[in-house]
Amino acid sequence: MDSLTQIILGAAVGETVLGRKVGNKAMLYGAIAGTIPDLDVLARQFTDTVTALSVHRGFTHSILFSVVFAPMFGWVVSRYERLKDFKAWSWLFFWAFITHPLLDAHTTWGTQLFWPFDLRLAFKTIFVIDPLYTVPFLVFLILALLQKRTAQKRSYYNKWGLWLSSSYLALTFLLKWVAYSQFETALKDQNINYTQLDTRPAPLNTILWSANVDAEEAYLLANYSFFDSQEIIFETYLKNHELLDDVIENERVQQMISISKGWYIVNQVDGQLYFNDLRFGLLSLTPNAQNFVFKYRIDLDEAGDVSFTEVPKDNQDAKALLSALWTRVKGN
């Protein structure tokens, strides 16, 4: 999830663990702890694109990280804070650390919660930024923050924030199941043969859902809103995987295929090859658009080594997408 959401969650968890004993400092340390796992993004500054992608939401988002580093942070804080309770501070950091990847596991990218085992949990039930999850949570956290440390209302507001956000998160599983069923029915009604169906919420909401359908030589992409009145339309995108035949055995190419979980499209523009991670869809709702959210330029040097460079996103495309999403959410 986005940084603000993780800060709110961490602060609420910190308040639950130590709010009555240390007041607002519990929220402060919880908020800090809630952001620490995302420091793995700094890997982009020191390594190549493929390696940075492979470590993102890896070790720092694992149970192992929470178990090992929570006591370390707990010990440090207990040395200089008035409350010298090492165990209590360790519990605060542990719960703030572990709830971070548990929340991220509901997104499309997922987390390697069981690192070093190569198993990424990605329930794909919520977008990385979802106002319906974050805003009510933030309101209740602020209400709790304004109360005195020992006030009953402080605990009341904080618990309501955690309860509402968790309930909404649980609801997204039901919404995903309904959307999945609609895509499944549409594929059957339209006599479309496929081997795999993958669904995820569209940006900023859980009313509009997107689907990737593996239909052997091509992928079919579609959207469905709970307010739709017309049948689902599936757009065809050729995989073009054969364009990678000359470098398919390259280690970095194999890493990128693994990172994308096999959901990728290759296209060629003016002789330049591009690798598109299909899991995150397009920056447009226009049929047959080719501006994928995560697009990487493939370069081959004289020594035969392959490198990937992420293509910067166009802010104008993002603005146009937000406008199109608002229209599409209301139904076709």
Q: Which residues pair with 264 in a beta bridge?
A: 277
26 close to 19: Cβ distance less than 8 angstroms = yes
Structure confidence at residue 5 (pLDDT): 98
Structure confidence at residue 185 (pLDDT): 98
130 close to 104: Cβ distance less than 8 angstroms = no
Peptide bond into 116 cis (omega under 30): yes
Exposed/middle/buried for 74, CB within 10 Å: 0-12, 13-18, 19+? buried
Structure confidence at residue 329 (pLDDT): 95
Number of other residues whose CB lies within 10 A of the CB of residue 288: 10
How do residues 64-92 score in pLDDT, each as one tens digit? 999 999 999 999 999 999 999 999 999 99
* Distance separating alpha carbons of residues 45 and 24, to the nearest angstrom: 34
* Distance separating alpha carbons of residues 128 and 3, to the nearest angstrom: 10
Q: Which residue has the tokens 């909404």?
A: 168
Structure confidence at residue 191 (pLDDT): 97
Q: Which residue has the tokens 């050729």?
A: 238
Residues of the chain with pLDDT under 70: 287-288
pTM: 0.94
How do residues 194-246 score in pLDDT, each as one tens digit? 999 999 999 999 999 999 999 988 999 999 999 999 999 999 999 999 999 99
Structure confidence at residue 146 (pLDDT): 95
* Distance separating alpha carbons of residues 134 and 156, to the nearest angstrom: 18
Separate counts of helices (H) and strands (E) for the chain: 9, 8
Provide the sign of the torsion angle of the four alpha carbons 86, 73, 119, 6, taken in this order.
positive
Looking at residue 288, its amino acid is N
Structure confidence at residue 24 (pLDDT): 95
Number of other residues whose CB lies within 10 A of the CB of residue 225: 20
Structure confidence at residue 26 (pLDDT): 97
Looking at residue 319, its amino acid is K
Residue spans of the domains in the chain: they are 3-170, 190-332
* Distance separating alpha carbons of residues 103 and 327, to the nearest angstrom: 28
